[in-house]
Amino acid sequence: MRRVMHDRFGGPEVLELREVDEPHAGAGEVRIRVEAAALNPVDWKIFGGGPAATTRGLEPPLGVGNDIAGTIDEVGDDVRGWAVGDRVFGSARTRALQDWTVVDPDAERLARIPDGLDAGVAASLVVAGRTAWDAVGRLVERQGDTLFVHGAAGGVGQLAVQLAERKGARVIGSASERNHDMLRRLGVEPVAYGEGLAERLLGMLPVDACFDCADGAGVAAGLEAGVPIERCIAIAVKGAHGAAGVATDLARTGALDELAALAAAGALLVPIEVRYPLERFRDAYRQLMEGHARGKLVLDLMR
Ligand SMILES: NC(=O)c1ccc[n+]([C@@H]2O[C@H](COP(=O)([O-])OP(=O)(O)OC[C@H]3O[C@@H](n4cnc5c(N)ncnc54)[C@H](OP(=O)(O)O)[C@@H]3O)[C@@H](O)[C@H]2O)c1
């Protein structure tokens, strides 16, 4: 089977597509025929060899990626609740960009893909969806709260603004000018980031909570606009200005099931900017690393 791998840490140039033996499900595991993998910045932070790799004890040789969707085609001994033919999505840390992957369905918290939901859409919900779900669940306390999402046009941001609106929040979102109309269509009041963000936010009061998906400047601006630090979460710059993060182990089956149900019902728009065939993994990561993806980048393995 095909597997994207790397023998040393580095940029996308260290990644290679190799032919390797197919894995098989051991006891307590299922094997999944991967149909789609969604990319996240944490993938390149791991293959780049920074703290995302070292704090998880990851050393090459390694595979790549995390978010997968596909169909179970082998079930190991002692597995309950899963069968060959089940369409599933979830996490396969460093084992996503490959034709087959093996996971422990309890440890990795697999969820079922609802009928009619596309595999690329389901995969896109794994890290970004759970992160947005956790942050919005903690930050929007009551209907009418105003949430400021810094980096609202990205994979996490676009899901967060929609989830906050579903909870009755007013949402302000920062993005570059080219994304302001897109944010307006999602019901968001757009604001430009960069120099003067705090002043612009002060002109849009009240602001009750802040979810910073970018460089930490969102938390700084939120604090100036009167948001208490207890109602700030930062995910790209951990601990920015004292803000909390989201749980790194976001294994919440409930969240994935609810997110997928919303997406299948058309109540949550899962923004996929580009779908590439697996062979274009380097182009996909180069685009992601530029930091201006408008939603998710997906690799289709069955194309
Ligand atoms: N568990 C965790 O802690 C956790 C979980 C998920 C993600 N994260 C981290 O959170 C960050 C966002 O993740 P993501 O998946 O949403 O990434 P992403 O999709 O790559 O985000 C891209 C977006 O960031 C926006 N952006 C770029 N520079 C910005 C700036 N200076 N200010 C405001 N927005 C800016 C871009 O908007 P424009 O094109 O309009 O500039 C673009 O829409 C990443 O660093 C990721 O590693 C952490």
Q: Is 239 exposed, middle or buried (0-12, 13-18, 19+ CB in 10 A)?
A: exposed
pLDDT given at position 108 = 81
pLDDT given at position 254 = 85
Per residue in 146-169, pLDDT tens?
Answer: 999 999 999 999 999 999 999 999
Determine the distance separating the centroid of ligand 1 and the alpha carbon of 213, expressed in angstroms: 5
- Give the whole-angstrom CA distance, residue 303 versus residue 301: 6
Residue 170: CA atoms inside 13 Å, Cβ hemisphere, count?
Answer: 9
**Region for residue 196 given its phi and psi (left: phi exceeds 0; alpha: psi -120 to 50; beta: otherwise):** left
* Residue 249: inside a domain: no
Question: Are residues 174 and 110 located together in one domain of the fold?
Answer: no
Atom of ligand 1 nearest to the CA of 176: 40
The answer to whether residues 272 and 298 touch, using CB atoms and an 8 Å cutoff, is: yes
Question: Are residues 91 and 135 located together in one domain of the fold?
Answer: no
**Is the pLDDT confidence value at 58 over 80?**
yes
Per residue in 91-149, pLDDT tens?
Answer: 999 999 999 999 999 888 899 999 999 999 999 999 999 999 999 999 999 999 999 99
* Residue 226: inside a domain: yes
pLDDT given at position 107 = 86
pLDDT band at 266 (very low <50, low <70, confident <90, very high): very high
pLDDT given at position 252 = 58
Question: Are residues 115 and 133 located together in one domain of the fold?
Answer: no
293 lines ligand 1 (CB under 6 A): yes
pLDDT given at position 45 = 98
Per residue in 67-97, pLDDT tens?
Answer: 999 999 999 999 999 999 999 999 999 999 9
Atom 25 of ligand 1: nearest residue by CA position: 151
* Residue 254: inside a domain: no
The answer to whether residues 204 and 183 touch, using CB atoms and an 8 Å cutoff, is: no
What is the total count of domains within the chain? 2
Determine the distance separating the centroid of ligand 1 and the alpha carbon of 261, expressed in angstroms: 25
Question: Are residues 213 and 141 located together in one domain of the fold?
Answer: yes
Look at residues 248, 293, 261 and name the one whose alpha carbon lies nearest to residue 93.
248
Question: Are residues 113 and 133 located together in one domain of the fold?
Answer: no
Determine the distance separating the centroid of ligand 1 and the alpha carbon of 157, expressed in angstroms: 7
Per residue in 21-55, pLDDT tens?
Answer: 999 999 999 999 999 999 999 999 999 999 999 99
* Residue 253: inside a domain: no
127 lines ligand 1 (CB under 6 A): yes
pLDDT given at position 95 = 98
51 lines ligand 1 (CB under 6 A): no
* Residue 248: inside a domain: no
* Residue 260: inside a domain: no
The CATH number assigned to the domain holding 91 equals 3.90.180.10
Question: Are residues 230 and 274 located together in one domain of the fold?
Answer: no
Ligand 1, pocket-test mutation among 46, 126, 246, 292, most atoms within 8 A of CB: 292
Question: Are residues 82 and 185 located together in one domain of the fold?
Answer: no
What number is the average pLDDT over the span 188-209?
A: 98
pLDDT given at position 81 = 96
Question: Are residues 7 and 121 located together in one domain of the fold?
Answer: yes
What number is the average pLDDT over the span 264-286?
A: 98
**Is the pLDDT confidence value at 196 over 90?**
yes
Atom of ligand 1 nearest to the CA of 128: 6
Which of 242, 262, 290 is the endpoint of a domain? 242
* Residue 256: inside a domain: no
The CATH number assigned to the domain holding 138 equals 3.40.50.720
Residue 196: CA atoms inside 13 Å, Cβ hemisphere, count?
Answer: 4
Where in the sequence is the domain holding 159, given as residue range(s)?
129-242
What number is the average pLDDT over the span 249-276?
A: 90
- Give the whole-angstrom CA distance, residue 120 versus residue 15: 22
List of residues 6+ apart from 297 with CB closer than 8 A = 38, 39, 272, 273, 274, 275, 276, 284, 287, 288
pLDDT band at 251 (very low <50, low <70, confident <90, very high): low
**Is the pLDDT confidence value at 173 over 60?**
yes
Question: Are residues 217 and 111 located together in one domain of the fold?
Answer: no
Question: Are residues 47 and 91 located together in one domain of the fold?
Answer: yes
Determine the distance separating the centroid of ligand 1 and the alpha carbon of 156, expressed in angstroms: 7
Question: Are residues 69 and 133 located together in one domain of the fold?
Answer: no
**Is the pLDDT confidence value at 249 over 80?**
no
Phi, psi of 50 (to 5 degrees): -80, -165
Atom 15 of ligand 1: nearest residue by CA position: 155
* Residue 145: inside a domain: yes
193 lines ligand 1 (CB under 6 A): yes
Per residue in 212-233, pLDDT tens?
Answer: 999 999 999 999 999 999 999 9
150 lines ligand 1 (CB under 6 A): yes
pLDDT given at position 11 = 98
- Give the whole-angstrom CA distance, residue 238 versus residue 215: 10
Determine the distance separating the centroid of ligand 1 and the alpha carbon of 126, expressed in angstroms: 15
